[in-house]
A = this chain, B = another copy of it.
């Protein structure tokens, strides 16, 4: 399996409109057929020194393999998401896991 973990930090953390726009953008990615499972969420309530809970949104995508992930990267819905939403975040951090 190939797990694509993406964490987003908004430019304007307290801007409710920006939050809703990013969330709406993330949800459009659910339409990409090569994804097996989509989890979209925010930082859980857990707090310990080893936990990073500073991000605003997380997108965890489970793919059958790297090839399925590659289809996602060049998919029109993904390109449109980046075009529409990339101005909203100040930082994005990805952990791709081969499991």
Contacts and interface: CB of A to CB of B under 8 A. Distances in A.
| Secondary structure type dominating chain A contacts | strand
Q: Give the copy number.
A: 2
Interface residues of A, number: 32
Interface in A32-71: 39-46, 48, 50-53, 55, 58, 60, 62, 66, 69
B66 A5 contact: no
Nearest to A65: B44
Interface of A: 1-3, 5, 7, 39-46, 48, 50-53, 55, 58, 60, 62, 66, 69, 92-99
7 contacts: A39-B99, A43-B97, A44-B69, A46-B96, A51-B96, A52-B93, A55-B95
